[in-house]
Amino acid sequence: MSDLSYKAIMERKNEIMKNALGIDYEVYEYGKIAFDYERMMKENSYPMEKIQEIQRETKVGNTPLFELENITNLVRKYAPKGKGARIFIKDEAANASGSFKARRAAISVYEAQKRGYKGVIAATSGNYGAAVASQAAMRGLKCIVVQEVYDSRKVGQPEILEKARKCEAYGAEVVQLTVGPELFYMFLRLLEETGFFNASLYTPFGIGGVETLGYEIANQVYEREGKYPDAVVVTNAGGGNLTGTARGLLKAGAKDTKVIGASVDLSGLHMASDKDFNRKSFTTGHTGFGVPFTTMPDRSDVPRNVARVLRYMDRYVTITQGDVFYVTELLAQLEGLERGPAGNTSLAAAIALAAEMDQDEIIVVQETEYTGAGKHPMPQLTFAKSNGIEIRRGDSKENIPGKNIVIPNRIDQIYLQDLDMMKLRTDYVRNITVRKDIYEITEEDLLFLCGEVKLNKSEVMNILDSLNVKIS
């Protein structure tokens, strides 16, 4: 019988991962830090036409694109003269499980069935669990979802509990845990015990599935308006949403479209902290995941994370929890669309961005998500109050994560905060070199870093010089 202690399971993690996924990540590695990103994607995903075919089989993709004319008109009332870009929204709630993550799950579950696995496992407290469960149900596979749900008091967040109910509705077994390192341990242990497929968010299969989203956005906007969108706003957490969407935009020919990441500002709250876990009001698209995954993408449940946002992101902005609650109500009452907080994070950012852009420009919010009992503002705000968070109306500049939620009175009280892209790039380079005690890299590594952080050689060399890292 295998040793099931935490230490033993962690020591076997690479072997467990390889058996549960079938990808030998080592063949793509070279130099001291580099790996062949594009080759890994090409050899472990499918062409666009095949991905679209797989998704059509299980009620995924070809979702509608709506223009939010009422919200655009409201933005123009407050924007400077001539400003107020047209806002469009891609309604991903139309997918089988109610979110864009059905695109990722469709390819992973298809791959599991194709390779003869009896079931799939996903470690997620989000919409992805429901997506995997939905796809597994359609393809006749078993499904286990491992969730981080509770703090040490066994108090669970309404949104996570809602998602657990949805997973169970599709027939999945849901394993619920408290916050802490046991999530990854239990995930690995179940993969080893069951022999199921690792339906990770961060494989080439998952990211390839999201490429159809960017591809559809580019083509739908072009067919309607005769041009590609000027900007696409993407809710950013683990990075797969932005990475896949950006790759799809590029494959459709939308090379000049700006890709803007948006996250809820939860600075000061630590996502692995039992104390902080329930001091956030929803679990989706916040800086607690967005910043760490941007600057250290390989912290995921696979050896090499294919979600690498610095390769594609042109700008990264944050908004507040109060902004998202305000925009959720705005979307419902002005546009008749009741949707959950994930896409409304990007919508809040898009509203502020539209006020900076010319009226003939187009900005697309690239996803919506389903809403349900735990995703509505009222249970989330009630939960916040029960955890000592002050709830009030006012100027969202007064928002303090973990202390209060300030809901704007007007649309012009939604403010963007830009994250310093050069600092994020520098932090990434530091994490992949100095933090691993690597102070000398090869010319091949340098070229790899240029692709990783979307800078030219001289710009990357300036970062390396500042970190005292040499080129051999």
Model pLDDT for residues 215-232, shown as the tens digit of each residue? 999 999 999 999 999 999
Is 35 domain-assigned? no
Note whether 210 and 314 are same-domain residues: yes
Note whether 190 and 212 are same-domain residues: no
* Residues 211, 48 contacting (CB under 8 angstroms): yes
Note whether 341 and 372 are same-domain residues: yes
Torsion 286-291-294-300 (CA) sign? negative
Note whether 93 and 220 are same-domain residues: yes
Note whether 353 and 462 are same-domain residues: no
Note whether 197 and 236 are same-domain residues: no
Percentage of the chain lying above the pLDDT 90 cut: 78
Is 173 domain-assigned? yes
Note whether 353 and 234 are same-domain residues: yes
Note whether 256 and 361 are same-domain residues: yes
Residue 272's pLDDT band, with cuts at 50, 70 and 90, is low
* Residues 229, 362 contacting (CB under 8 angstroms): yes
Is 149 domain-assigned? yes
Note whether 276 and 335 are same-domain residues: yes
pLDDT of residue 158: 86
**Average model confidence (pLDDT) across the chain:** 94
Is 30 domain-assigned? no
pLDDT at 273 over 80: no
pLDDT of residue 142: 98
At residue 265's C-alpha, the angle toward residues 261 and 269, to 5°, is 130
CA nearest to 165, candidates 374, 417, 332, 363: 374
Residue 270 carries which side chain, given as an amino acid letter? H
Q: For residue 442, give its domain range.
A: 433-471
Q: Is the pTM of this model over 0.75?
A: yes
CA nearest to 430, candidates 294, 248, 261, 277: 294
Percentage of the chain lying above the pLDDT 70 cut: 98
Is 321 domain-assigned? yes
CA nearest to 159, candidates 186, 136, 130: 130
Is 130 domain-assigned? yes
Note whether 356 and 220 are same-domain residues: yes
Query: Of 202, 235, 251, which closes a domain?
Result: 202
Note whether 403 and 276 are same-domain residues: yes
Is 163 domain-assigned? yes
Note whether 338 and 217 are same-domain residues: yes
pLDDT of residue 289: 86
Domain CATH for 85: 3.40.50.1100
Q: How many domains does the chain have?
A: 3
Q: What digits encode the pLDDT tens for the residues 12-55? A: 888 888 889 989 999 999 999 999 999 999 999 999 999 999 99
pLDDT at 406 over 70: yes
pLDDT of residue 153: 83
